[in-house]
Structure 1
Amino acid sequence: MRKLILFACSIAAAAVLGGSAGAAEPDVGVLSVEDGRGAVMLDLKGSVLGRLSNGTLRVTDHTPWDRYSALVVGRKVTQERLGPKIVLYRGQGLRFRMVGGGYRIVVRGAGISVSAVGRGVVSLDGEPRLPGEDVGVYSLEDGVDCDVERELCTPLPDEVERFTLGSPPGEDDGRPQR
């Protein structure tokens, strides 16, 4: 399943890169989160695939009239429309896909796994129940899958940290923004 997610993200990245070939647009960035507990917030234009064992998923579609829409499935899923562009999903075993378009996505809960490719910002906040508890891992490195290569990934931060996905040409520091 994870390989399928990475394949889909690779295809999405190729489509984004192919569409911007020759243009002076920023490069796309990637994010991989595995076994997360806490919150993962993304505000990006691109593609996101993920799973959530238990918790909430809030999706704001920045481009609701384009041809792309969010797909969310799972057990005991409830959907609450909070506005014309905002939907809150609650449930267990949620699986979600947002391919193309612009979204603000807030995933809160346990068992968070996310693969994203695009341009925008991401905030990560691990929330352990007990001191020293594993809150999951993440990577912003291209080609690193935290499900397969966990040792190459970084533990989710205990305090909110914000990162940029993608960068303008010639600028690629990958450091957290504060």
Structure 2
Amino acid sequence: MRRLALLGLLACLAVPAGALALEQGAEDGTLSLDGVTGSVSFAARGAIIGQIDKGSVTISDPNPNDGKPPVVWGYERKRDLTDTKFFFSGSGIRFRVVGGFFRVKVVGSGVDISMVGRGSVSLGPAPALLSAGSFSLNGSQPLPFPDFPLTFQLDAAVGG
């Protein structure tokens, strides 16, 4: 009898826990950019790694305590815009932002990025550059990089 009561109690506790898990929101989505020429902006929570053949990346980490600090190397110039916002430019730039909320804007050519997380993404042409390359959402077939501004929320329900 005690065993049956214990199983009943555990079942009652498991149902609310499962309901809370569903209320936490969408699962993380993925975005992959390959050989892009254009402009890409992220306001998201998750992880992003990328490289730029030629161009710039601006990284804002509003709360340095909610994830690891951004890592950037291979740049030719760096400018501290604020205590939490940095601009890097040059050729052969590589960067990584993992954990917490971040804002990243990349403008350039030969851009390759992999991102996992949730948030707002904007893709589009860069001034004076013709768009090139492709992007893929959640493992779907690659699509040509847009010649017009395209903004969407990234999560597991988008694309694929």
SS at match of 1:136: strand
SS at match of 2:132: coil
Which one has the largest radius of gyration? 2
Quick one: distance in 2 between partners of 1:173 and 1:31?
10
Percent of residue pairs identical: 32
Say what the alpha-carbon RMSD is for the aligned residues: 2.3
* 2:135 equivalent to 1:138: yes
From the superposition, tell whether residues 78 and 113 of structure 1 become closer, same or farther in structure 2 (CA, over 3 Å).
same
* 2:42 equivalent to 1:42: yes
Q: Which residue of 2 aligns with 1:5?
A: none
Q: Which residue of 1 aligns with 2:71?
A: 71
When normalised by structure 1's length, the TM-score is 0.71
2:137–2:158 Cα contact (<8 Å) kept: no
Q: Which residue of 2 aligns with 1:155?
A: 144
**TM-aligned CA deviation for residue 129 of structure 1:** 6.1
SS at match of 1:22: helix
From the superposition, tell whether residues 47 and 140 of structure 1 become closer, same or farther in structure 2 (CA, over 3 Å).
same
Quick one: distance in 1 between partners of 2:158 and 2:131?
27
Q: Which residue of 1 aligns with 2:60?
A: 60
1:128–1:135 Cα contact (<8 Å) kept: no
Quick one: distance in 1 between partners of 2:100 and 2:135?
23
Consecutive unaligned residues in structure 1, runs of 5 or more: 1-20, 145-151
Consecutive unaligned residues in structure 2, runs of 5 or more: 1-19
Quick one: distance in 2 between partners of 1:128 and 1:98?
26
Moved over 6 A (4+): none
Letter of the 1:28 partner, please give it: D
1:127–1:158 Cα contact (<8 Å) kept: no
1:37–1:109 Cα contact (<8 Å) kept: yes
Q: Which residue of 1 aligns with 2:94?
A: 95
Q: Which residue of 2 aligns with 1:30?
A: 30
SS at match of 1:89: strand
**TM-aligned CA deviation for residue 73 of structure 1:** 0.7
When normalised by structure 2's length, the TM-score is 0.78
**TM-aligned CA deviation for residue 31 of structure 1:** 0.3
Quick one: distance in 1 between partners of 2:133 and 2:48?
18
Quick one: distance in 2 between partners of 1:67 and 1:30?
19
Quick one: distance in 1 between partners of 2:88 and 2:135?
23
1:76-105 Cα distance to aligned partner (Å, 9 max, x none):
522100012110001110111111111100
From the superposition, tell whether residues 46 and 94 of structure 1 become closer, same or farther in structure 2 (CA, over 3 Å).
same
